[in-house]
Structures are given as C-alpha cells and as structure tokens.
Structure 1
C-alpha cells in the first residue's frame, strides 16, 4: 500500500496547492496530520518501529486527505445527505440539512468565507 499512498499524497497535495488559493480556502498543514514520533520509543524493536512509521504515514495520510476533501465539500456543497452516512468528517455535523433551501446562497457564502479563517 505504500506506493498507492505516496501517489495519492502527491496528487492530493498538488490539488490543494493549485486549487485552494483559487477558491480562497486555507491550506491543510500536512505536518498536523502525518506525525512520526513513535520510532523514539525505546521499548519498540526495529520491526515494531518500522510498522509504527508505516502506520503513522498511512493513518496520517487518510486524515490529511479527509480534511482536504472536507474543506472542498464545505466550499462546494455543505449539505448533509438525505440518509445517514457512516464515517463523516468533523465539518459534516455543521452542514445544512438536506432540503434546507431557505437562504441557501447566503449560508453557502458564509461557509466559504469561514474556510479562510480556519485556525
């Protein structure tokens, strides 16, 4: 899985670097999601440290990708689905209810503006 992860990492990072500035979306900091620190644990042997490094990269990449896609979804379509969806990102809870058409354009613009103010 390392090759697909690295390829995905390259493409999602390129997407973010080229598209987010165009839409005024604050970039996701890769280092906030991909953290390599378990190799400093003295009680792990070499193989365990290798596995921890691989898992840190894989899990971190999935979280990094999820945040980039979540910000993209918030910009273009911050509307919940009609049926329950498992495994939604943290932003999804604040999206508009399905079928909530009242002041949609105003609310959409507010969602977009907030993407520039992410801490």
Structure 2
C-alpha cells in the first residue's frame, strides 16, 4: 500500500503537532519549576543565604574524614580481624531523586545524606575499634553511645579484666580473635 503525498503531509503535521505539544508541556514544567525556585529563594532569610558558604565548606571535611576512615579500616581491620563496615549501609544519598524537590532542596538533601552518613559510618568504625581496644565504660555517662557500649566493662571494675576484654574482642571479631590484652600492670 503506497502512501499518497496528502497522507505523508498529514503524518508529518501530526508528528510536528505532537512534538510541539510535548515541547510546550516541557516548557510549562520548566517555567513552573523556575517559579517555584524563585518563590523558594524569595522566602529565604538573607542571613540563611549568607551562611551557605559556611555550611557547604564542611563538605570538604566530610570528604577527608570519609577517605581517612576508609583507609584506616582497610588497613587495620584485617589485621585486628574486625569485620569491615559496609559504607553503603551508612552513606545513603537517594533523596536527590525525589521529583517534588527543587534543585536547591535536592542539593541540600544530598549534602545532609552524605554528611550524616559519613559521620554514622565513622562512628561505627570508631565503635568497633573501641570495642576491640578499650571496652571500658566512661566514669560519667556519655551521650551518643554506640551499640557495643552497654557490653563494656564498668569504669574501675577490675574483676576478671583480662577475661572480659578477651570476650569483647571475641564478640567484635565474630569469633576470630579472643586474645587477651597485654597488661603492663601485674596483678598480684
């Protein structure tokens, strides 16, 4: 079946009209988004805007912390036989894909997800290190205790110190290490 020139022309006109409609829809969406961004920016306190360089400058500290904690873990944890911390379980940056956020909100969500994730990741690495090397509670109650802290020995309680330290190492290494710490103080 051959297409006539009129059929061809009609088909081209329909395609052009469909593209024009999609383009207009996209332009309207962009215009709406730009209007929302303008309204968002207009609603911000100028002092909040002035603090943005301070807030975002901490990003570099997060990156350096992320790098150093990861290197420390990769080098030391295999030697101590402590299981690796899965970084991806702590550093989650998924909120930037939410379609109802404007670009500034997406950037803020990505920043906060990364920053808080790196801090949580570093805390877990430090907690496992503390459980291995120094499983003793502080003399005074500390805020922000990690999941291993309640199993630590009480401050000043010397009862079976070496055995309890050994059991802490056994727990944190998931049974791979139960060595007793080298204790410089001789017990008599």
Q: Which residue of 1 aligns with 2:165?
A: 108
Separation of aligned partners in 2, 1:64 and 1:94 = 20
Root mean square deviation, CA, Å: 1.3
Which aligned pairs between 1:18-29 and structure 2 lie closer than 5 A? 18-29=75-86
TM-score w.r.t. length of structure 1: 0.93
Residue 33 in 1 paired to residue 33 in 2? no
Q: Which residue of 1 aligns with 2:151?
A: 94
Q: Which residue of 2 aligns with 1:49?
A: 106
Q: 1:116: Cα distance to partner?
A: 2.2
In structure 2, runs of 5+ residues without a counterpart are: 1-57, 176-188
Separation of aligned partners in 1, 2:124 and 2:166 = 19
Which structure has more relative contact order (CA 8 Å, sep 6+)? It is: 1
Separation of aligned partners in 2, 1:48 and 1:117 = 41
In structure 1, runs of 5+ residues without a counterpart are: none
Q: 1:101: Cα distance to partner?
A: 1.1
TM-score w.r.t. length of structure 2: 0.60
